[in-house]
Amino acid sequence: MPRLPHSLLLRAYKISPFLPLVLRGARTLDSAINEFRWLREHVEACKLPSDQASRKRLLYLCKRRSRAEPLQYILGSQPFGPLDIKCRPGVLIPRPETEAYTSHLAELLISGKLDEYLSIPAPETKQGNFVTPSNQLSILDVCSGSGCISLLLHSLLSNSGKFPNLRTLGLDISPHAVGLANENLALNIQQGHFPISAIRNDDDTRPQDKGLSNARLKRKKAREAKFSLFPRDKAIHFAPHDIFTSLPRSLGNFSIIISNPPYISSSSFARETTRSVRLYEPKLALVPDPESYSSSKKNNTESTASKSANNISIQSSTPDTSSPKTQNPPLQIDPADIFYNRLLSLSASRSAKILLMEVGDSSQAIRVLKLALSKPYIAKTSKFELWRDFPGQAPQPGEDTVVDVNGQMIPVKGAGNIRSVVLFRTPSALKEEQDEERKEEKSRKKK
């Protein structure tokens, strides 16, 4: 890390004796001035008993920032849309780009621009009923972290009044993150960002429960509440779960799957991330562990369609010459991309109509698209888009609005760097998945 010029430190000192400390963490004078103002306002809001106590507290916070500790950890929170998200060491800090695509997705859903994808017959439906925005919308947030995506999406959609039967489940492998997400839920309920109807599911009776006595139904609900990842009486919930293991069938399908997964390679983490990220933010939330994929092959019991997504091997710098060549070699996948393969598998097994995945850059976005296009059951039945940092804005001069991936022209929306890959499933997708499930069921019966 380059040293700051003495002249710059002197300019900062003339503004405030504390400012050079903040400058060492912020690295630019403009950023340091803004951060120092926020730190000062934070101390003032604490209403300490004396000016001396306030000054001592401010000095302590500035020293923390001088060591590159993220400002969000020091202040304890980060705005995320209209919400206030608590931030704590060990849990990834919400980013503005994540806020932008989450808000944009909510805007598209509320405006009705995505109704054509949501109004698709559910696989379990036999009478031609439809899962539409007016009766049910279920969201799965994979690697939910602080809960920022789940909370913002659920808040915006529930307050729109368009989705009275909205349910959102956030899953993360870290119990620490799940605990913070639940704290953020409680905080934003207290601040009035969620109507009561948006956090409690009063209509929790299922078709298979018909005919049960009240006593038996009560006992059944109690058992499910004890062991279920998603209690039926909650409209939004966070739970610890390793996404590389199977999800309980009882969860059913999800209309939307959204994820900001670990996507930075080990080498990029060491070379390209900032000192602040390397020293303070959780590596678990940033760098995928190839061992997770190995365990998923043993534990995953998803549907036939989703299992076909796991015909991959992790790239290695050392070629493997020990095994004979086959006609259908496994797809080579970058170690940084292993979560995307799992997300594609989940979207198939849970009949998701929309899958939104955050990526690190345009190169990774292209790799993820190629991975998706390599799977016939996805390539033939999905519409793809790439979203930039600010997907609701017009592209800037020189920014491409379409990219060619394996001969397929993929639209690119918005302005800034490419930030997410979005899949929209067509009606034929669910029919194909139904056919796969029927074949699998017939095969099991024959055995």
pLDDT digits (tens, 9 = 90+) for 407-417: 999 999 999 99
User: Which tens digits make up the pLDDT trace of 49-77?
Assistant: 999 999 999 999 999 999 999 999 999 99
State the pLDDT confidence band at 217, using cuts at 50, 70 and 90.
low
Beta strands in 43-89 (DSSP E): 77-80, 83-86
Taking the alpha carbons at both ends of the chain, their separation in whole angstroms is 63
Whole-number pLDDT of residue 118:
86
Q: How confident is the model at residue 229 (pLDDT cuts 50, 70, 90)?
A: confident
Q: What is the pLDDT of residues 250-304, one digit of tens each?
A: 888 999 999 999 999 999 999 999 999 999 999 999 999 877 655 555 555 555 4
- Tell me what pLDDT residue 106 has: 98
- Please check the confidence at residue 111 and state whether its pLDDT lies above 70: yes
pLDDT > 70 in the chain, percent: 76
pLDDT attached to residue 129: 39
What is the structure's pLDDT at 116?
Answer: 87
> What was the pLDDT predicted at 439?
73
- Tokens standing for 362? 């345009």
**Which residue segments constitute the domains of the chain, with CATH numbers given?**
6-67 (no CATH), 86-200+235-314+329-446 (3.40.50.150)
Q: By percentage, how much of the chain surpasses pLDDT 90?
A: 66
DSSP state string for 330-373: PEEE-GGGHHHHHHHHHHHHTT-SEEEEE-SSHHHHHHHHHHHH
**Could you give the strand order of the β-sheet that contains 236-240, starting from the edge strand earlier in sequence?**
236-240, 166-172, 137-142, 256-259, 354-358, 415-425, 382-390, 408-413, 402-405
Task: Please check the confidence at residue 308 and state whether its pLDDT lies above 50.
Answer: no
What residues form DSSP beta bridges with 141? 170, 258
pLDDT value at 120 more than 50? no
pLDDT recorded at residue 309: 45
Backbone angles phi, psi at 232, to 5 degrees: -70, -20
Whole-angstrom Cα distance, residue 53 to residue 66?
20
pLDDT 10s digits, 351-408: 899 999 999 999 999 999 999 999 988 888 899 999 999 999 999 999 999 999 999 9
The yes-or-no verdict on residue 323 having pLDDT over 70 is no
Residue 323 CB coordination number (10 Å):
7
pLDDT at 202 over 70: no
Q: Which tens digits make up the pLDDT trace of 84-96? A: 999 999 999 999 9
pLDDT tier at 326, thresholds 50, 70, 90:
very low
Is the Cβ–Cβ distance between 275 and 68 less than 8 Å?
yes
In terms of Cα–Cα distance, which of 171, 151, 148 is closest to 159? 151
Q: Are 404 and 437 in contact (CB under 8 A)?
A: no
Residue holding tokens 């109807």? 197
CA distance 314 to 339: 12
125: DSSP letter: -
Cβ-Cβ contacts under 8 Å for 261 (sequence gap 6 or more): 142, 143, 288, 339, 340, 343, 357, 358
Among candidate residues 159, 57, 61, the one with its CA nearest the CA of residue 106: 159
Q: How many CB atoms lie within 10 A of CB 103?
A: 19
In the chain, what are the helix, strand and coil shares in percent, each to the nearest 5? 45, 15, 35
pLDDT tens-digit map of 125-174: 443 333 444 458 999 999 999 999 999 999 999 999 899 889 999 999 99
Tell me the average pLDDT of the chain: 85
